[in-house]
A = this chain, B = another copy of it.
Amino acid sequence: MDISFNDIKQKFQGCGLKTTPQRTAIYDALLRSTAHPTAEDLFDQVAPQFPMMSLNTVYYTLGVLRTSGLIHEVNIGHTRARFDANLSPHHHLICVECQAIVDVMDPRLNRLTSPAGIPKDFEITSYQVAFRGFCGSCRRHAGRSINHSSSGLHPTTVKGGLHGKSS
């Protein structure tokens, strides 16, 4: 599941984007990451190869890639934008302590049906489920014990939950 330079070049061409070294490095770094990095994370990662590069270029590049549909922006809180090159439909688990974002690939979540009681003239184009909680390391540090009752979640073992029609 590794991606080559030519794969990236073709994606860029398909979107009418020039294949520059900076852009390639930024997109490649994002493709290799599952951490949903910030613009600055990506800058820190590619800067060693491009000592002249400015953070501005990272923002510009991410904006172009997002507009072209090659990446998504994932938002948690209003502090800083996080980016994701994984375009397959999925959802996220967010640690409220360290802000880690973990992918949730459970396909059942991609089958939610239209909610009831919304304005009839509203057109829904997508949806996203954000689970919040504490990652393992944050939980260990804080000495938290698992408290399922606070989540409002039914345990996974409850049958029939979460599914859309498995048509």
Contacts and interface: CB of A to CB of B under 8 A. Distances in A.
Copies of this chain assembled into the complex: 2
A137 to B, nearest CB: 8
B155 A113 contact: yes
A116 B118 CA distance: 29
Interface string A15-33: 0000000000000000000
Interface stretch (A42-50, A53-61, A104-112): A104-112
A2 interface: no
Give the secondary structure class of A's interface.
loop
Given A75-B76, A154-B111, A167-B158, A125 B134 contact: yes
A65 to B, nearest CB: 17
Contacts of A165: 154, 158-161
Of A96, A110, A121, A167, chain B has the most CB atoms within 10 Å of the CB of: A121
Given A109-B115, A161-B113, A133 B139 contact: no
A160 B159 CA distance: 13
A157 to B, nearest CB: 8
A3 interface: no
Given A129-B129, A161-B164, A163-B160, A123 B106 contact: no
Contact of A122 (B91, B108, B135): B135
Contacts of A143: none
Of A131, A135, A165, chain B has the most CB atoms within 10 Å of the CB of: A131
